[in-house]
Amino acid sequence: MTAELVRGQNHPLSRARLEIRVSAGGPVVAGAVLCDEHGRAAGPEQVAHPGAPVLPGLEVSRQAAADHRLAVDLDVLPEAVHRVDVLLALPSGAGGPARFGAVAAPFVAVTGVDGTGIASYTVTGLDSETAVVALELYRRQGAWKVRAVGQGYAGGLAELLTDLGLADRAHRIAGDVHEAVARGIARSVPAPHPAGSSDLLRQPAAPAAASDQGGATPHGAPGPVPPQPVPPQPPGSPCGPQSTPASGTPQPGRPADPTGPAAPRQPDPAAPQPGHPAGTGRSAPAAAAGPGGGRIDYSHPGRRPAAAPTPQPAAPQTGPDGPARPVAGDATGWSMDERLYNQVWGMFEDLARATAAYRSAVDFAESRREQELDKVLSDPRSRIGGRGDAAREAARAKHDQLVDRAREALDRDLAQLTAEAEVVEPALPPAYAGWDNPVWHGYRVPMELPMALRLGDLRLPESGGLRIPMLVRLPLERGLWIDSGRAASPEGMSADSGTVRRLAMDTAVAHAARLLAVHPPGEFAVHVVDAAGAGAPSLAPLVRTGVLAGAPATGAAGVDDVLTRLTERVDLVQMAVRGGAADALPPGLDTAAQLLIVNDFPHGFDDRAVTRLRYLADEGPAVGVHLMLVADREDAAAYGPLLDPLWRSLLRLTPVADDHLIDPWVGHAWTYEPALVPPGSQVLEQVLTRLAETRRSWGR
């Protein structure tokens, strides 16, 4: 097993012939210094570097590369050598990163010649350094050990060598090294494969010997080839699966670019690598490739391998300048639909939690201020002179400071979520989009049921302009209740009862139209009970386009008729399902899911009809019969608690903004705004007309 070393830790070396494998985010120079028992190098001939790659028992590569393999034979080393320092340095010259802080942390592994891992170490925590002693192999009581050193030098190779006792010649050796590297660069064609990493794009890596294009590197190309940064690959192009037509948005800089995380794997042409160490745990970069990336990640998502740290992925999710740009569909799922659904719910949860963090910090700040003010008040000394005032002032300042910091954190989170919402909203398919989304203008009748339906928007008082789509799963698990009673919110209070009822029915029609539109033709039927005919103006679009299963039922007889038919259907399907004889259903039975819109409940309902409706509410959802009640609970007060279970079983929605929905994580009260057709817009009628046409052409 490979031992993961941390800085300063050592590990015994059981064999003499070793390889030291280095992988870094970009080209680096690797070298080694042979030191005596005092940790000093006898002279420049004890330094193995690209200019002098072979020493007895030691060989390093001749070029700067992202991957190196150094060969060490401890038995062949001279007796006087007690320590071998393995060093890495950034190649000087144009184009390369100027400090280790700007590249991914180098990863160094000590392996046997067959590739079996012995010890590994990720050189983390580097910043302005340009040279670093990564490892040292040292002799202790006759046995060799390896120690993770990670000592960086901002002054570069010269300073490093000075430290090893080569003070007088350090600069010359360092010059030799860089000259040799420059020659090596000139020999090879520049083509560090663009890693898609923000770091590398911003600071085009020095053209390295390493190239991803396999053996295409022409060695000994005539004349010096000037280093030229390679233009970044058009981002997002390999992300085929994400770019479904539904999304319609380009996906810039997606980290799933399959070439991105693989960049450190570039083979070193000086030492073609058969059998790259498989145990170096590449799963973390692979996982970073995200859903639907070009490569398949077979590792278990829940369990990270404990062994073998990896070099930090070259394409970190967040660049040094702040969070990565959000991308629509940046979540897990099998389809774009599912990814967007999960992303929206992820945003919902993040907003809930970010707000919870803010609220708890503010609450805490307030309670602390109260406590401190109380203490000042009860302390008799504070009544003399200005001490009390000063203490009060201090308590208030502490409060304000904490609240400011909390607000800052919240604003940061909100900004990120808002940016995400800005890319997600335009990418939403019709079922998830608001009526004002242009996607509805290009509406086509779908061939399969979407995962979920947007019923409105959710927001919190703190969330500013940010709205989270409220998505509910389809098929509906519970009925809907559009509350036509006067809501507690200011908008609800100001409106008179008639207006609210009209609004409620409009909302119901908007939801029903949405449900109709997102179901494949013939798989959803809508019945309407409008006993008094009061909902006729709102129902007009549904009636006119002929998408209803029948004309709205009016009067007691109409109510009774619709309920009888639906009850019968529920009974039959239930029997068939329980008896396991689905094919025994009568041939004329409509297999579509049914929605019953009841306006002005309980108007026109007698006791028998109410009982039937409750039966439908209880048993219907399981067999595809759903309720949408447009009602004011006050109107049904005569029934007393009899109807309480009915109200509770329905999802309450309001025709105006109202804060009555609770999130499942923290329990905030969210303000719900129904998804309504913008005033003056014809989109609803257009969609329904298209639906009716498609149905006719399908003969359903």
Partner 1 sequence: MTVNMTKGQAISLQKNDGGTLTAVRMGLGWQAAPRRGLFGSRTREIDLDASAVLFADKQPVDVVFFRHLVSDDGSVRHTGDNLVGGAGQGGDDEAVLVDLARVPVHIDQIVFTVNSFTGQTFQEVQNAFCRLVDETNGQELARYTLAGGGQYTAQIMAKVHRAGQGWQMTALGTPANGRTFQDLMPAILPHL
Q: Which residues contribute to the site for partner 1 (CB under 8 A)?
A: 3-6, 9, 11, 101, 105, 122, 124-128, 152, 281, 284, 302-304, 306, 308-310, 312, 349-350, 352-354, 356-358, 360-361, 364-365, 368, 402, 405-406, 408-409, 665-666
Q: What minimum distance in Å lies between the beta carbon of 640 and partner 1?
A: 38
Amino acid in position 81: V
Sign of dihedral through CA atoms 237, 243, 249, 253? negative
Task: Find the shortest distance in angstroms from Cβ 482 to partner 1.
Answer: 31
Residue 401 or 682 with smaller CB distance to partner 1:
401
CB of 398 to partner 1, least distance (A): 10
Nearer to partner 1, 14 or 360 (CB): 360
3-state secondary structure 383-446: HCCCHHHHHHHHHHHHHHHHHHHHHHHHHHHHHHHHHHHHHHHHHCCHHHCCCCCHHHCCCCCC
The nearest distance, CB 127 to partner 1, in angstroms, is 4
- How far is the CA of 334 from the CAs of 65, 329, 331, in angstroms? 38, 11, 10
Quick one: tokens of 378? 């009860």
- Which residue lies nearer to partner 1 by CB, 100 or 435? 100
- For partner 1, the closer of residues 32 and 119 by Cβ is 119
End-to-end Cα distance, the chain: 66
Tokens of 250: 């380009």
CB nearer partner 1, residue 3 or residue 201: 3
* Helices 536-545, 497-518: crossing angle, 10 deg rounding: 20
**In the complex, minimum distance from the CB of residue 415 to partner 1, in angstroms, rounded to a whole number:** 14
Would you say 302 or 385 has its CB closer to partner 1? 302
Nearest-CA neighbor of 118 among 11, 7, 9? 11
- Per the DSSP assignment, residues forming a β-bridge with 137 are 84, 146
Count, residues in the chain:
700
Structure-block tokens of residue 649? 């079983």
Burial (CB < 10 A; 0-12, 13-18, 19+), residue 67, is: buried
Angle, CA of 401, 406 and 410, to the nearest 5°: 145
Nearer to partner 1, 400 or 448 (CB): 400
Rounded to whole angstroms, the Cα distance separating 621 from 629 reads: 14
Identity of the residue, 301 or 465, whose beta carbon is nearer to partner 1 in the bound complex: 301
Closest separation between CB of residue 8 and partner 1, Å?
A: 8
Smallest distance from the beta carbon of 178 to partner 1, in angstroms? Answer: 24
Tokens 């008040």 — which residue? 377
Partnered with residue 132 across adjacent β-strands are: 88, 152
**Residue appearing with tokens 């006087």:** 80
SS3 35: strand
CA–CA–CA angle 221, 226, 227 (5° rounding): 110
Task: State in angstroms the smallest separation of the CB of 116 from partner 1.
Answer: 16
Of 38 and 303, the one with the shorter C-beta distance to partner 1 is: 303
As a 3-state breakdown, the chain gives helix, strand, coil percent values, each rounded to 5, of: 40, 20, 40
Give the three-state DSSP class for 28: strand
Q: Which is nearer to partner 1, 1 or 581 (CB)?
A: 1
Residue number, 398 or 695, with CB nearest to partner 1 = 398
3-state secondary structure 99-126: CHHHCCCCEEEEEECCCCEEEEEECCCC
CB closer to partner 1 out of 317 and 564: 317
Beta bridge partners of 601: 631
Shortest distance, position 261 Cβ to partner 1, whole Å: 14
Smallest distance, Å, CB 95 to partner 1? Answer: 22
Could you tell me the smallest distance in angstroms from the CB atom of residue 405 to partner 1? 4
- Cβ-Cβ contacts under 8 Å for 559 (sequence gap 6 or more): 529, 531, 553, 604, 605, 609
How many helices and strands (H and E) does the chain possess?
A: 13, 21
What the block records as the tokens of 645 is 């279970």
Query: Which residue intervals of 553-650 are DSSP H helices?
Result: 555-579, 607-619, 644-649
The strand pairing partners of 65, in sequence order, are: 28
β-pairing, 10-12 vs 17-35, is: unpaired
Minimal distance, residue 349 CB to partner 1, in Å: 7
* 3-state secondary structure labels for all residues of 260-287: CCCHHHCCCCCCCCCCCCHHHCCHHHHH
CB of 486 to partner 1, least distance (A): 33
Nearer to partner 1, 26 or 309 (CB): 309
Of 403, 412, 414, nearest to 462 by C-alpha is 414
Using alpha carbons, select from 149, 165, 135, 25 the residue that is nearest to residue 72.
135
CB of 136 or CB of 600, closer to partner 1: 136
Cα 577 to chain centroid distance, Å, stands at 40
- What is the smallest separation between the CB atom of 408 and partner 1, expressed in angstroms? 8
User: Judged by CB, which is closer to partner 1: 409, or 449?
Assistant: 409
Burial of 62 (0-12, 13-18, 19+ CB in 10 A): buried
Least spacing, CB of residue 89 vs partner 1, in Å: 18
| Nearer of residues 401 and 591 to partner 1, judged by Cβ | 401
DSSP state of 303: -
Closest approach, Cβ 575 to partner 1, in A, equals: 41
Least distance (Å) between residue 181 CB and partner 1: 25
> Residue 21 has which token pair?
């494998």
> Please, which residues bridge with residue 584 across strands?
none
Q: How far apart are CA 60 and CA 82, in angstroms?
A: 19
Nearer to partner 1, 128 or 213 (CB): 128
